[in-house]
Amino acid sequence: MNEERKRILELLEDGLISAEEAEELFDTLEEAESKHTNALTTKVDWESEGHKHDYAKQVRSTSKKIMHFIEDAVQKIKDADLDFNFGTSYPVSHIFYMDDADFEDIHIGIANGNIQLSAWNEPDVRVECEAKVYQVQHPSEARQKFLREAQFEITNNRLNFDIASKQVKTNVIIHVPNRLFQTLDLRLFNGDIAVRQLDVTSRTIKTSNGSIKVENSTSEEWKLETMNGSIQVAHSNGRQLDVETVNGSITLEGYFEQIHAQSVSGSMECYCKGEAVHSGHFKTTTGSLRIYLPQAKRIDGKLTTKLGKLRCKFKDAHVVEDKQDIINKLLRFEVLEQKENPMFIEADSKTGSIWVIPMEEEE
């Protein structure tokens, strides 16, 4: 339960749940731990199907309680989507443009709205904004407020675009030159993010409430994070990919050397392509995992779950260890163990099932 405690504390520190809700969550965890301890210290016929069913039902019930609290917490952000009780809004359309822009880093920060970022075959930067401005009395005041809140500049070799006010909701389409950038720092409090055809050495993309979608992109280091929303990476490549969501699914496809993916409430699908991949770590609390791997690659795998099923679909897999305890299941396996440069796979789901599948089976 240590992982669940850490998550509750993070939600409390971020202000997403109250102290009372955190206390109730901790009480639920303590109750679950107490029942688990009693179950282990009482003489029970664990082979009885009735006891197996009752205990599994108890674990699922506790898991649902925990996820109910987490979903309520992230829903607070979702419900804040800008009608914010601010009353009437006025629309503002504006385009920022910079000729022959020279920069290596990109920083984009918006409180509310949606962001689309992509490269184009021009040396210029173009930022198209469709905004709603709240707490103003007339359209001219809305435009003045928008232009005052929006910051667009290049300083210290970095492109900056910021709208910090939560009273301005902006849908933004940004075009940057088609070249390699050093860093991308993209942060959004409430809204969706889409990035296409952008090559960056290191990228960090975060939204508190919204989805993240990246396509046809390259980065050495990736860090994608959302509290409430799905994460998708497609037709992309890099050295290290880290993705995390509290409430949402994860879909990954591309050529990566190292992959770390984590979701509390959500399923995962991961398509690990190429011979360069050498490690993958996948973790979810309530969702299932489907991991597609190259057929010609040596694989050392470890799969664990409390209540789900564990399946390795490689026909030539050698099972090293297979434990089917009541609430602790483990499968260790090797594929093409005679080859060098193995890929290490570790996948864990508390209540869901895990499949490891040869890549050709999804084609």
| Cβ(224)–Cβ(242) below 8 Å | yes
pLDDT digit string, tens, across residues 25-52: 666 666 655 554 444 444 444 444 454 4
Boundary (domain end) residue, out of 36, 51, 78: 78
The pLDDT confidence band at residue 175, using thresholds 50, 70 and 90, is very high
Tokens of 178: 């088609």
Whole-angstrom Cα distance, residue 94 to residue 5? 45
pTM above 0.95, yes or no: no
* pLDDT in the model for residue 288: 93
Looking at 196, 229, 262, which one is the last position of a domain?
A: 229
pLDDT at 324: 87
Residues 280 and 360 placed together within one structural domain of the fold? yes
Domain count, the chain: 3
The two three-digit tokens of residue 133, written as one number: 């401005």
CB 223 within 8 A of CB 204: yes
Q: Report how far Cα 157 is from the mean position of its chain's Cα atoms.
A: 29
pLDDT for 171 equals: 98
**222 shares a domain with 102:** yes
Q: How far is CA 219 from each of CA 112, 182, 242, 288, rounded to the nearest angstrom?
A: 26, 9, 12, 27
For residue range 267-298, list pLDDT tens digits in order: 999 999 998 999 999 999 989 999 999 998 99
| Residue 256 sits in the same domain as residue 155 | no
Residue 328 has pLDDT above 70, yes or no: yes
Alpha carbon distances (Å) from 327 to 31, 62, 169, 268, 286: 17, 14, 47, 22, 14
27 and 111 in one domain?
Answer: no
- 173 and 103 together in one domain: yes
Residues 52 and 95 grouped into a single domain: no
Q: Does 263 have pLDDT greater than 80?
A: yes
User: 2-13 and 49-78 helices cross at what angle (nearest 10)?
Assistant: 10
Domain shared by 334 and 255, yes or no = yes
Q: What angle do CA 232, 236, 238 make, to 5 degrees?
A: 110
* pLDDT of the residue at 85: 54
- Identify whether residues 253 and 152 lie together within a single domain: no
Tell me, yes or no, whether 159 and 28 share the same domain.
no
Q: State which residues form the domain around 246.
A: 231-363
d(CA 158, CA 206): 19
Q: Is 144 helix (H, G, I), strand (E, B) or coil?
A: helix
Do 109 and 55 reside in the same domain of the chain? no
Average pLDDT, the chain: 85
- Residue 363: both structure tokens together: 């084609």
Amino acid at site 181: F
Boundary residue ending a domain (19, 45, 78) = 78
Lowest average pLDDT, out of 8-12, 208-212, 286-290, 326-330, goes to 8-12
Q: Residue 145's pLDDT is what?
A: 97
No. of H helices and E strands in the chain?
4, 22
Residue 88 has a pLDDT of: 86
pLDDT at 45: 47
CA dist 18 → 14, 29, 137, 344 (Å): 10, 17, 34, 40
Phi, psi (5° rounding) for residue 72?
A: -60, -40
**101-117 average pLDDT score:** 96
Residues 190, 108 within the same domain: yes
Are 224 and 236 contained in the same domain? no
Q: Is the pLDDT of residue 149 over 90?
A: yes
| Alpha-carbon span 240 to 260, nearest angstrom | 8
Q: What percent of the chain has pLDDT over 70?
A: 75
Percent of residues, the chain, with pLDDT higher than 90: 67
